[in-house]
Structure 1
Amino acid sequence: MASLRGRKVALWGWGREGRAAWHALRARGGTAVGGDAFPPRLTLFCSATEAEEARALGDEALVVETDASAERLSAFDVVIKSPGISPYRPEALAAAERGTRFIGGTTLWFAERADARTLCVTGTKGKSTTSALLAHLLRAGGHRTALTGNIGQPLLDLVDGQADYWVVELSSYQTRDVARSGTRPGLALVTNIFPEHLDWHGGEARYVEDKLSLLTDARPRIAVLNAADPRLASLRLPDSDVRWFGREDGWHLRGDALWRGNEDVFDTRALPLPGRHNRGNLCGVMAAIEAMGLDAAALAPHAAGFRPLPHRLQPLGARDGIDYVNDSISTTPHASLAALEVYRDRRVAILVGGHDRGLDWTPFAEAMRAHAPVAVVTMGQNGPRIHSLLAPVAAEAGFALVAAGDLAGAMEQAREALGGEGVVLLSPGAPSFGAYRDYAERGRNFARLAGFDPEAITAIPGIGIA
């Protein structure tokens, strides 16, 4: 961060990441650069609503603007942007062509903390549960461990923290920032790769390239990869020590049992990890722990004490004979299929649809031919498109297909279809943008509409250093 002195620096975005960057830069000023705040003058680009909050800070050296045009952005040497702002936006590309460098808080943290023993976790699905489980088991082994990043805490909030291990969850918005820092992660664990966030990345090919940049560009010393994922299985990483999970010579599942090679470690059925995909992620956690030189088999039983994360196949309880399950984190059709598999033996009405990013729902529709729930209720911006695709399948397979205008209406339709018995499963397979601020707000509203306390379901256990 000290290298920013003497440069024209701006922040772009005033969410958690933007505020964390501002705090870190201002806190660093007194110790790193001779007592002067650096950069001495900082510009913030944000929305009009956020501008009021930022001005209320009373930072006289903070200039707040709402017009993040290419012309304005190109006036700066470095722009520290929030992860949700795509670098592929026209104004960002134009400014980059004129020499402006765009980085994120992730870049600053990794550059500042090259001493940290980092275990980076990414993947289209499962990265939050995998990160939290990894941190839980490391702590169970007596290691002071940080759990931070995309899971809910900006890295820069802990820029001066001390830990034996740093478990850092990274979204596809952040993976390139690691390579930009010029440091190599100690370990990178990747769960899977499916199409996601295509609007931010500008297409599937770039999404995959950006996601895999944690491996190909950041060159972790150890790469822990899912052998069952075809994109990962085809990678060649000459600069990394590659460890595989999900195949018989490493950590893998046989039925419900966790195996290490030919060693039967223990039965996973009693673990608080709903779905085979989550128990598959446990294999990745075991492989990562072992790759760090620790006794993974000895720590494995501690998974029984893991607290599941909210909004991820989260059972809320029952009302009038119907169970409600909150899987609001589901933002791809693949995730919705995985959720249905967990409740394959129950009568289910699944709620699907939300913000339309153009993802292909054809595999979901084809899966309904063989294993359909009692009902599929479509909603949201892409609801009509999903409904149209499913209509001929529903006629053949015999499940109820109904449309709703919003979440409240979808829940009414689901309850009616179940007739007082079964599971209402919110697993939208799409983001919440437009109707809700984020998936957490959508999940809380689902809980409220079902008759449960929305605030009681939201805490993410384990974030921070412990």
Structure 2
Amino acid sequence: MTHSSPGGPSEFAGRHLTVAGLGVSGISAARALAGLGASVTVVDGGSSPAHRERADALAADGIAVRLGDADTLPDGTDLVVTSPGWKPSSPLFAAAAGAGVDVVGDVEIAWRLRGPDAAPWLAITGTNGKTTTTQMLASILTAAGLRTAAVGNIGTPIIDVVTGDETYDVLAVELSSYQLHWAPSPRAHSAAVLNLAPDHLDWHGSMEAYAADKGRIYHGNQVACVYNAADKATEDLVRAADVEEGCRAIGFTLAAPGPSQLGVVDGILVDRAFVADRQRQAQELAEVADVRPPAPHNIANALAAAALARAFGVPATAVRDGLRAFRPDAHRIEHVADVDQVAYIDDSKATNTHAAEASLAAYESIVWIAGGLAKGATFDELVAKSAKRLRGAVLIGADRALIREALARHAPEVPVVDLDRTDTGAMSEAVRAARRLARPGDTVLMAPACASMDMFTNYNRRGEAFADAVRALGAADA
């Protein structure tokens, strides 16, 4: 399908637009486009009281809403604006294709709505670490005295930021593979792909399609395409990208960096990319100890954020100050407490095997709490890579048998407690079982490698249940 070229805010006046989805991004798009003089209809398959309440609020602003039917294209539609989660195979999009109507996402609309003096974008994607890296980048940019915000697949909808009254020098933009799929036009100042691992394949259809959508973030880059030197797939995406002349490939590595890379030397984050003589010079940026937590994958996040900031001309001191000021969100390798000389770590955000592998690599001797909804994942590679670090494992959730079987194949000597429960109270029992397995100096790590919805509303609630159970241990000892 061809895509219409951006024409600024005036391109939407008088057009008949259909917005797919009554969530945060859909509502944001509907309001912004209606405010530009478009005739907007929002469609959503839901019809709950919450849906009706949102529909009534939009109707008060003259925006039509059709609930309970998300498959039929409204008459007269000349552009469909989708919310990120809608699959490309949705019947609504098939109907649009049949009518010769383009489908774009909220990020595409935001890009088209930018004014002539709009803030450049520093864009970030990857299977894991996007949000942390985007927040780190925003902290570094702020430390440099720049007006910025972390936007996109995080915080405030990007359309609201682009159309709002506040002005920015630069935006730190987190983009999901969903958002990139529906955004043909954005051209970032610089962009990074942090890593690539199988995820959301039911949505994209194949690993190749997933990678291709991630790779869109590099197209049209002006200054730097930042890639992970330990993940060749990210470098391959850079090589395939059509960028502006003079745009550079900048790698980040946990090892000593080569020219045009950022890396680590003797506990120091260093830059051999944005220096006068990258063959012989390296600029100190920060200490590993300035990164919290200093787990390997989080150091990689910090290096990627630093690379984007340096591409934008940020001084080395701002990298250090921004990393020191940064505090990660809850449930991301969060230290809850030490009980009997055992550290208890909440990484409930590790909802897939790639994230769990990075988390497990951060500790030497682990009692691992894992399990939940596997989403079609397999666990053999994860267990084989992590087996030597495991003191024991406690398994919970609907698909725990998949992990138990992988442990039996690749770590048969590791003691396993299999809790045949999927109620929310299972977490307390899991923490008590982990305590029995742990020895002084060990880490009890809740990095489930699975989604949470079999037992909890979301990964936040799962993490809170873990933290509550750990604090109960400490209280019982008091």
Q: In the alignment, which residue of structure 2 is the partner of 1:172?
A: 177
**CA root-mean-square deviation:** 2.7
Point out the more displaced range, 385-394 or 158-167: 385-394
Q: Does 1:162 pair with 2:173?
A: no
> Which of 301, 310, 317 is equivalent to 1:290?
310
The amino acid that maps onto 1:204 is: M
Aligned residue runs from structure 1 range 299-338, under 5 A: 299-318=319-338, 323-338=343-358
Q: In the alignment, which residue of structure 2 is the partner of 1:233?
A: 235
Q: Does 1:278 pair with 2:277?
A: no
Provide closer, same or farther for how the CA distance between residues 408 and 322 of structure 1 changes in structure 2, counting only shifts above 3 A.
Answer: farther
User: CA separation in 1, counterparts of 2:211 and 2:75?
Assistant: 28
Q: Does 1:12 pair with 2:14?
A: no
Point out the more displaced range, 400-409 or 188-197: 400-409
User: CA separation in 2, counterparts of 1:413 and 1:155?
Assistant: 40
**SS in structure 2 opposite 1:349?**
strand
Once the 2 structures are TM-superposed, how far is the Cα of residue 330 of structure 1 from its aligned partner? 1.1
User: CA separation in 2, counterparts of 1:292 and 1:80?
Assistant: 31
Percent identical residues = 28
Once the 2 structures are TM-superposed, how far is the Cα of residue 167 of structure 1 from its aligned partner? 0.6
**SS in structure 1 opposite 2:298?**
helix
> Which of 143, 146, 151 is equivalent to 1:143?
146
Q: In the alignment, which residue of structure 2 is the partner of 1:257?
A: 268
Once the 2 structures are TM-superposed, how far is the Cα of residue 316 of structure 1 from its aligned partner? 2.4
Gaps of 5+ in 2: 1-8, 273-280, 473-478
Q: How many residues are aligned here? A: 436
User: CA separation in 2, counterparts of 1:55 and 1:279?
Assistant: 44
Q: Does 1:355 pair with 2:373?
A: yes
Gaps of 5+ in 1: 30-37, 453-466
**SS in structure 1 opposite 2:289?**
coil
Point out the more displaced range, 297-306 or 98-107: 297-306
Deviations 1:247-301 (A, max 9, x none): 3222101353222235372431353233011112222222222211232355324
User: CA separation in 2, counterparts of 1:97 and 1:425?
Assistant: 50
Does the 8 Å contact 1:117/1:166 carry over to 2? yes
Once the 2 structures are TM-superposed, how far is the Cα of residue 323 of structure 1 from its aligned partner? 4.3
The amino acid that maps onto 2:268 is: A
Instruction: Using CA pairs under 8 Å that are at least 6 residues apart, name the structure with larger relative contact order, 1 or 2.
Output: 1
Q: Does 1:70 pair with 2:71?
A: yes
The amino acid that maps onto 1:207 is: Y
The amino acid that maps onto 2:250 is: R
The amino acid that maps onto 1:213 is: R
Provide closer, same or farther for how the CA distance between residues 175 and 43 of structure 1 changes in structure 2, counting only shifts above 3 A.
Answer: closer
Q: In the alignment, which residue of structure 1 is the partner of 2:5?
A: none
Q: Does 1:79 pair with 2:88?
A: no
Does the 8 Å contact 2:368/2:447 carry over to 1? yes
User: CA separation in 2, counterparts of 1:438 and 1:288?
Assistant: 31
Once the 2 structures are TM-superposed, how far is the Cα of residue 168 of structure 1 from its aligned partner? 0.7
Provide closer, same or farther for how the CA distance between residues 254 and 408 of structure 1 changes in structure 2, counting only shifts above 3 A.
Answer: farther
Provide closer, same or farther for how the CA distance between residues 53 and 194 of structure 1 changes in structure 2, counting only shifts above 3 A.
Answer: same
Does the 8 Å contact 1:12/1:46 carry over to 2? no
Q: In the alignment, which residue of structure 1 is the partner of 2:385?
A: 367
User: CA separation in 1, counterparts of 2:318 and 2:52?
Assistant: 52
The amino acid that maps onto 2:252 is: F
User: CA separation in 2, counterparts of 1:251 and 1:383?
Assistant: 39
> TM-score, normalising length from structure 1?
0.84
Does the 8 Å contact 1:117/1:164 carry over to 2? yes
User: CA separation in 1, counterparts of 2:432 and 2:312?
Assistant: 48
User: CA separation in 2, counterparts of 1:310 and 1:375?
Assistant: 23
Provide closer, same or farther for how the CA distance between residues 368 and 58 of structure 1 changes in structure 2, counting only shifts above 3 A.
Answer: closer
Once the 2 structures are TM-superposed, how far is the Cα of residue 410 of structure 1 from its aligned partner? 4.2
Once the 2 structures are TM-superposed, how far is the Cα of residue 226 of structure 1 from its aligned partner? 1.7
Q: In the alignment, which residue of structure 2 is the partner of 1:35?
A: none
Q: In the alignment, which residue of structure 1 is the partner of 2:414?
A: 398
**SS in structure 1 opposite 2:385?**
helix
Q: In the alignment, which residue of structure 2 is the partner of 1:32?
A: none
User: CA separation in 1, counterparts of 2:322 and 2:40?
Assistant: 49
User: CA separation in 2, counterparts of 1:434 and 1:84?
Assistant: 20
Does the 8 Å contact 1:318/1:324 carry over to 2? yes
User: CA separation in 1, counterparts of 2:401 and 2:91?
Assistant: 30
The amino acid that maps onto 2:212 is: E
Deviations 1:103-123 (A, max 9, x none): 221111111115321101111
Once the 2 structures are TM-superposed, how far is the Cα of residue 170 of structure 1 from its aligned partner? 0.8
Q: In the alignment, which residue of structure 2 is the partner of 1:222?
A: 224
User: CA separation in 1, counterparts of 2:45 and 2:29?
Assistant: 14
